[in-house]
Amino acid sequence: MPSDTAPNRLDEMVRSPFARLALLLEGLTPGAPAIDLSLGEPKALIPSFLGPTLQEHLSEFGRYPPIKGIPVLRQAIADWIGRRYPLLKGRVDAESHVLPLSGSREGLFSGIFPALARKPKEEPPVVLIPNPFYQAYGAAAAAAGATPVLLPSTAEGGFLPELEAIDEALLARTVAFYLCTPSNPQGAVADRSYLARAVALARRFDFLLFADECYSEIYAATPPPGTLETAYGETASLANVVAFQSLSKRSGLPGLRSGFVAGDPGFVAAFGRFRNVACPQMPLPIQHVSAKAWADERHVAEGRALYRQNFAIADALLEGRYGYRQPQGSFFLWLNMAAFGGGEEAAKTLWKGCGVRVLPGTYLAQAEPDGVNPGTDYIRVALVHNADTTREALTRIVSILG
């Protein structure tokens, strides 16, 4: 059963996994030159064709940017959505369906406020969050004074929340449901049937489905289905659904801080008004660079090929070990360390033994009502380096753990 945690536990909901990892490893000497596989930060690709655009628009750093984004950026985003999801071609309106974000994280956080204001709900309002989860969701719920309800997302359920297990009384109080597909940390992809059921719940109980799809372009062969196209396919409308996207993973540009939210036009309008007084605008030169990046797929395909190489290395080295399986999407491995004392012990062992830094899964999840944290047994391993570094790191892991 989902667990209903007390509202306003801000401190508990904003414990950075990376700060906790730094504490865990404090004072321990790495056994070899460090390789960091803890952070989901693409390392190997910077799309250099974007440089001239930045240079061309440099002087526009001298102007305050419009929060709604310049038309050329909003149109590039709408066009990208139409190319990626053919059902939506020509059906996403750059003016009313799209808002740029300064990275998707700030939108995933600040979007909770208009979601909360959108419709009076029975008190206290609920925010549904998968467990484990990207930490911004929990911070948003707690900061907005809503009750975060954690939905178990374990191996038995294909690492996605079991929709049918959510209590109707909770759904009636729900203002937003964060659904991450492909999921961080497990790399699970929600199929069309799952997405359609999630959309139907959002519409029946009139809440917002916040689809976090920032890993959607990192896959082996089949592009993951999109929540917006599924919603549109059901009813020819984007009501109750928004998708959050980012150039951080797709284009290997985490430092650009560029993403967008698209979907339900009522929500997008309200979020735009809220953002206009409360949220960061994207600098104009970055808007131009972003428009160019959304318009190009070549560098994205090159990035995917690099991740495929990394997964081929992982297949060769890890098959049959630590519950390894290739994720359906994203660049993360979610490895079971129960045999090595759990994720925290394994992280220390690997750091001390071979200088490889991995993230204990327990830092990405919270305890269920039975006291069990579903991430306890796991480590998250980000395959974001080039093939040589990846091979070196995974070889070291196997040499230490066996």
Q: Which of 254, 272, 329, 361 binds ligand PLP (CB under 6 A)?
A: 254
**Stretch of residues binding ligand PLP (CB under 6 A), selected from 98-106, 171-179, 308-316, 346-354:** 98-106
361 φψ region: left (φ > 0), alpha (ψ -120 to 50), beta (else) = alpha
- Of 50 and 400, which has the nearer Cβ to ligand PLP? 50
Strands 259-263 and 98-101: antiparallel
CA-closest candidate to residue 289, choices 252, 250, 254, 258? 258
**Stretch of residues binding ligand PLP (CB under 6 A), selected from 72-80, 199-207, 246-254, 343-351:** 246-254
CA-closest candidate to residue 336, choices 367, 358, 309, 316? 358
Q: Which of 103, 132, 161, 375 binds ligand PLP (CB under 6 A)?
A: 103
DSSP string computed for 131-158: ES--HHHHHHHHHTT-EEEEEE--GGGT
Question: Alpha-carbon distance 301 to 263, whole Å?
Answer: 25
17 near ligand PLP, judged by CB under 6 A:
no
Strand partners, 378: 336
For the CB of residue 121, give the shortest distance to ligand PLP in the complex, in Å.
Answer: 25
250 near ligand PLP, judged by CB under 6 A:
no
Q: Is 340 exposed, middle or buried (0-12, 13-18, 19+ CB in 10 A)?
A: buried
Question: Is 200 within 8 Å of 239 (Cβ atoms)?
Answer: no
**Stretch of residues binding ligand PLP (CB under 6 A), selected from 91-99, 101-109, 290-298, 380-388:** 101-109
For the CB of residue 28, give the shortest distance to ligand PLP in the complex, in Å.
Answer: 25
104 near ligand PLP, judged by CB under 6 A:
yes
E strands, 45-173, in order: 98-101, 126-131, 147-152
134 near ligand PLP, judged by CB under 6 A:
yes
- Of 174 and 216, which has the nearer Cβ to ligand PLP? 216
Task: Tell me which amino acid residue 262 is.
Answer: A
246 near ligand PLP, judged by CB under 6 A:
yes
Return the residues of window 44-73 that contact ligand PLP according to CB under 6 A: none
334 near ligand PLP, judged by CB under 6 A:
no
- Where do contacts with ligand PLP occur on this chain (CB under 6 A)? 40, 103-105, 108, 134, 180, 184, 212, 214, 246, 248, 254, 259
